[in-house]
Structure 1
Amino acid sequence: MARAQGARSQLAVAFESTYGTPPAGSFTRLPFASSTLSAEQPLLSSELLGYGRDPLAPIKDAITADGDLSVPIDAEAFGFWLKAAFGAPVTTGTGPYVHEFRSGNWSLPSIAIETGMPEVPRYAMYSGVMLNQLSWTLQRSGLLTATVRLIAQGETVTTTSQAGTLADFELIRFGHFNGSVERNGAALGNVVSAQLTYSNNLDRIETIRADGMIDGADPTIAALTGQIEVRFADSTLVQQAISGTPCALQFSYELPAGQSLTLTAHAVYLPRPRIEISGPAGVQASFDWQAARDPVTGRMATITLTNDIEGY
């Protein structure tokens, strides 16, 4: 009997034209490192009395379909997740193409995602998938991956794939070595690590339905937050925190062949941090920053992806 192995699993994705209705084909295989995307339905213990010490049979509770994906940050496939998070980009150029994703869209696309385990076989199709949160960390070394947090309308399991013939992106990964952090257009020194999280703060529409699915997941007020860990070498960031003025933070990756990814938070506010001396080693300070709408650009964030893909 065959046993399921993660090494043989696959992830097929496609944007939906109608929420909750997977397209008939046009799926693309995307790279991923791990997945917790699944449906679950807990049991409710019986509260009834009068039948002795042994409980009566439990009943089924509501179905929840959600989970996280760990995906590489690369020059091509990552644009799919950026479109899910921010909406369709504004694309310019004739190759290379520059895709500009902007925060603030009220209408976000839904996705159909199929996870396949051919050994069993088990193919789970998740329809009406919305991206709730996208986060990653910049650091000196290690593999560069992002966490994608998803909310799905429901799950359908079959023994054969419904995704058809899959298209592929070329895997061109960014690495931590390719990363940089800038403040107001100038390199920000002494950064040990930086973490950022963009959240759509989706509101599940949990209406009463015979199939147990939700009616949708609507975006509310977005949030872009993070943390910067710096070696304490000057008072620039501390003075900004004290004054309460915003700055622009830019997190970038660039490959020698010209592919690049840049996230710009246009108006970032810093809290006044606690400066601690914990021993003989260097002193570090952590800033839990928050981004807000910039009155000049009219938005909170802009993400620019440069590659050879004509459109998403």
Structure 2
Amino acid sequence: MARAKGARAQMALAFETVYGTPPAGGYTKMPFASTTLGAEQPLLNSELLGYGRDPLAPIKDAVTADGDVVVPIDAEAFGFWLKAAFGDPVTTGTGPWTHEFRSGAWTLPSLTIETGMPEVPRYAIYSGCVLDQLSWQMQRSGLLTATARLVAQGETVGTVSSAGTPAPIDLRRFGHFNGSITRNGAALGNVVSAQITYANNLDRIETIRADGRI
């Protein structure tokens, strides 16, 4: 069996038109540091008596698909995660543009995310992803990353990519050294570190359906 290499790992993302339906195209190659996206389907032990000491075949339980994606905070790719957290921004200007993301949207966009390991090969596509929480830490030095916590509807694993050739991102990454904290336009002094967390507090609608998904 081939061994996957992190240098060749890839992630592609596209916004869905219909929840849970992966789009045919329009994927973007996303920078990421790590991911724990995955699906789990527990097995339930039989409670029946009178069949001897050997266990009976287990019964499949519902599917749970979720996980975290650690991403860099940069000038372009991070906008995808902000849109997933807040919805479409209010955009003004003619280039450079100003994007204002506002909290409290009634509906949030859903994503399809594909993680690929070409050496294996293994391509896992997660449809119906909705961003539950976005958090990052501010400090004086170090690498600036954010953690996006996602709730997905399900996982489909294949040996061929379904994302085609994703559009590349021009990575222009921000660092802690460039950051500042202001209040009403004035610098706020003596802040050593800060932890910022935005949560949508999603609830899974655990509908009864044949495939066990939400």
Normalising by the smaller structure, the TM-score range is over 0.9
CA distance in 2, matches of 1:185, 1:116: 43
CA distance in 1, matches of 2:138, 2:37: 25
Within 5 A, what are the aligned runs for 1:115-154? 115-154=115-154
The DSSP-based 3-state class of the residue aligned with 2:140 is: coil
Deviations 1:17-51 (A, max 9, x none): 11111111110000000000011111122222223
The aligned residue for residue 195 of structure 2 is 195
Within 5 A, what are the aligned runs for 1:162-181? 162-181=162-181
The DSSP-based 3-state class of the residue aligned with 1:148 is: strand
CA distance in 1, matches of 2:51, 2:109: 51
Residue 178 of structure 1 deviates from its aligned partner by 0.9
CA distance in 2, matches of 1:201, 1:125: 24
CA distance in 2, matches of 1:54, 1:186: 71
Within 5 A, what are the aligned runs for 1:57-96? 57-96=57-96
Deviations 1:148-184 (A, max 9, x none): 0001111111111110121011100110001111234
Deviations 1:179-227 (A, max 9, x none): 111234321111110001000111111100001111xxxxxxxxxxxxx
The aligned residue for residue 272 of structure 1 is none
CA distance in 1, matches of 2:196, 2:24: 35
Specify the code of the residue in structure 1 equivalent to 2:161.
S
Specify the code of the residue in structure 1 equivalent to 2:159.
T
Residue 95 of structure 1 deviates from its aligned partner by 1.6
TM-score where L is the length of structure 2: 0.96
The aligned residue for residue 182 of structure 2 is 182
The aligned residue for residue 40 of structure 2 is 40
Q: How many residues align?
A: 214
Runs of 4+ in 1 over 3 A off after TM superposition: 51-54
TM-score where L is the length of structure 1: 0.66
Residue 113 of structure 1 deviates from its aligned partner by 0.6
Specify the code of the residue in structure 1 equivalent to 2:196.
L
The aligned residue for residue 2 of structure 1 is 2
The DSSP-based 3-state class of the residue aligned with 1:123 is: strand
CA contact (8 A) 2:61 2:212 kept: no
The DSSP-based 3-state class of the residue aligned with 2:112 is: strand
Deviations 1:48-69 (A, max 9, x none): 2223444322221111111000
CA distance in 2, matches of 1:31, 1:159: 22
Specify the code of the residue in structure 1 equivalent to 2:87.
G
Higher strand proportion (structure 1 or 2): 1
CA distance in 2, matches of 1:5, 1:168: 20
CA distance in 1, matches of 2:25, 2:129: 17
The DSSP-based 3-state class of the residue aligned with 2:164 is: coil
CA distance in 1, matches of 2:184, 2:25: 45
The DSSP-based 3-state class of the residue aligned with 1:204 is: coil
Specify the code of the residue in structure 2 equivalent to 1:41.
Q
CA distance in 2, matches of 1:45, 1:213: 20
Residue 128 of structure 1 deviates from its aligned partner by 0.9
The DSSP-based 3-state class of the residue aligned with 2:74 is: coil
Query: Unpaired runs of 5+ in structure 1?
Result: 215-312
Specify the code of the residue in structure 1 equivalent to 2:81.
W
Residue 89 of structure 1 deviates from its aligned partner by 0.8
The aligned residue for residue 227 of structure 1 is none
The DSSP-based 3-state class of the residue aligned with 1:167 is: coil
Query: Unpaired runs of 5+ in structure 2?
Result: none
Query: Among the aligned pairs, what percent are the same residue?
Result: 79
CA contact (8 A) 2:117 2:123 kept: yes
The DSSP-based 3-state class of the residue aligned with 2:193 is: strand
Specify the code of the residue in structure 2 equivalent to 1:27.
Y
